[in-house]
Structure 1
Amino acid sequence: MTLLEIDEVRGGYAEVDILNGISLSLQKGEILTVAGTNGAGKSTLAKAIVGLLPRVQGRIVFEGADLAPLPTEARIARGIGYVPQVANVFGSLSILENLQVVVGVKDQGKRIAELFEVFPLLRERKRTRAGSLSGGERQQLAFARALMTRPRLMILDEPTAALAPAKVADAFELIHRLPNLGVSVLVVEQRARQSLAISDRGCILDGGQVALAGKAASLLADDRAAELYLGRATHG
């Protein structure tokens, strides 16, 4: 079942187009990695999906409904979670307070308890101020905040960008678990090889267009993708 369909999406800021006719789809239960070099349009695409790009043309359809008329808040309410690269938690609030201030959550206490089962570290430190958390702990909290509204789709913008190298694998393991929670995932990621390794499919952008797309395993084995976009494989 197609959960998200993007058809010939163009847009950007002021008069400058960053997205130049992107088409892709995400199936229910999938993890889709969107990769590419800096400036390829990856994060801009994420913003277009959640309604944060000021100028967008083309169709973005979620569960059969066109998102074009809807502001960001309505898209979130429809079942889309979004974890931006920065400013994804309130540093002055505790872990518990960060979850409690999420609006539009039915049975808030029950939902927080459910997420503390998924993220036991957050439960242990629920009174801790978010600003004092490590990068990996903040990322767990950002994921939990986005999951509060029980989304069916999560948009993750560069989730490993601010993490220490030792914590990157933990982040990808967490992303890999999301479909088991009933959440499909579109992840924008610079660490393309590691992200594709836990994904079902991948899409590589170049100049605001789709350069390559297909099954994640096929992209990892593609010599052209490796040479132009993925970098050399690392071993050891």
Structure 2
Amino acid sequence: MTLLDIKDVRGGYGEVDILNGISLSLQKGEILTVAGTNGAGKSTLAKAIVGLLPRVSGGITFEARDLLPLATEDRIAAGIGYVPQVANVFGSMSILENLQVVVGVRDQAQRIRELFEAFPLLGERKRARAGSLSGGERQQLAFARALMTRPRLMILDEPTAALAPAKVAEAFALIKRLPELGVSVLVVEQRARQSLAISDNGCILDGGKVALAGAARSLLDDPKAAELYLGQH
């Protein structure tokens, strides 16, 4: 079942297009990596999906519902979670408070208990200030915050960018678990090889267009993809 369908999406800031006709789809239960070099349009695409890009044309549907007329908060309410690259937790608040301030959550206390079961470290340190957490712990909290509203799709923008090298593998293991929690995942990631290794499908952008797309395994085995886009990460 197609969960997210993107057709000929164009857009950017001011009069400059960063996205130049992107088409891709994400199926229910899958992890899709969107990779590419710096400036390829990866994070811009994530913002277009969640309603943070000021100018977008084309088609973006989620569960066959047109997203383009909807404000960001309405897209979140429709079942989309978003974890931005930066400013994804409130550092001055405790872990528990970071979860409690998420609005629009049914049975909030029960949902927090469920997430503490899924992320035991957060439950053990629920009174700790988020600003005192390590990069990996903050990432767990950012994921938990996005999961509070029980989304069916998670958009992750460069989830390993701020992590120490030793914590990168932990982050990818965490992402790989998300479908077990009933969440499909679109992950924008600079570490293309590692992200594709835990994904079902992949899409490589270049100049705001789709350069290569297909099964993650086939992209990892593609000599052209390796030479031009995947590097050693």
Q: TM-score under structure 2 normalisation? A: 0.99
Residue 198 of structure 1 aligns with an amino acid whose one-letter code is I
Q: Is residue 33–residue 189 contact of structure 2 (8 Å, CA) maintained in 1?
A: yes
**Corresponding residue for 1:216?**
216
User: How many Å separate the matches in 2 of 1:67 and 1:10?
Assistant: 14
**Corresponding residue for 1:26?**
26
**Corresponding residue for 1:112?**
112
Gap regions ≥5 residues in structure 2: none
Q: Is the counterpart of residue 121 in structure 1 residue 85 in structure 2? A: no
- Structural mapping, 1:1-236, within 5 Å: 1-232=1-232
Q: Is residue 81–residue 151 contact of structure 2 (8 Å, CA) maintained in 1?
A: yes
Residue 134 of structure 1 aligns with an amino acid whose one-letter code is S
User: How many Å separate the matches in 2 of 1:2 and 1:136?
Assistant: 31
Stretches (4+) displaced over 2 A: none
CA deviation after TM superposition for structure 1 residue 164, in Å: 0.4
Residue 7 of structure 2 aligns with an amino acid whose one-letter code is D
User: How many Å separate the matches in 2 of 1:203 and 1:222?
Assistant: 13
Report SS of the residue matched to 1:194: helix
User: How many Å separate the matches in 1 of 2:231 and 2:69?
Assistant: 39
Q: Is residue 193–residue 232 contact of structure 2 (8 Å, CA) maintained in 1?
A: no
- Identity, % of aligned pairs? 85
Residue 6 of structure 2 aligns with an amino acid whose one-letter code is I
Gap regions ≥5 residues in structure 1: none
Residue 93 of structure 1 aligns with an amino acid whose one-letter code is M
User: How many Å separate the matches in 1 of 2:232 and 2:185?
Assistant: 25
Number of residue pairs the alignment of both structures matches: 233
User: How many Å separate the matches in 1 of 2:221 and 2:68?
Assistant: 36
User: How many Å separate the matches in 2 of 1:118 and 1:174?
Assistant: 10
Report SS of the residue matched to 2:190: coil
CA deviation after TM superposition for structure 1 residue 167, in Å: 0.3
Post-superposition CA distance 1:190-226 (Å, at most 9, x none) = 0000000000000000000000000000000000000
Residue 10 of structure 2 aligns with an amino acid whose one-letter code is R
Report SS of the residue matched to 1:29: coil
Residue 46 of structure 2 aligns with an amino acid whose one-letter code is A
Report SS of the residue matched to 2:22: strand
Report SS of the residue matched to 2:40: coil
CA deviation after TM superposition for structure 1 residue 232, in Å: 3.5
Report SS of the residue matched to 1:151: coil
User: How many Å separate the matches in 1 of 2:85 and 2:11?
Assistant: 20
Report SS of the residue matched to 1:142: helix
Q: TM-score under structure 1 normalisation? A: 0.98
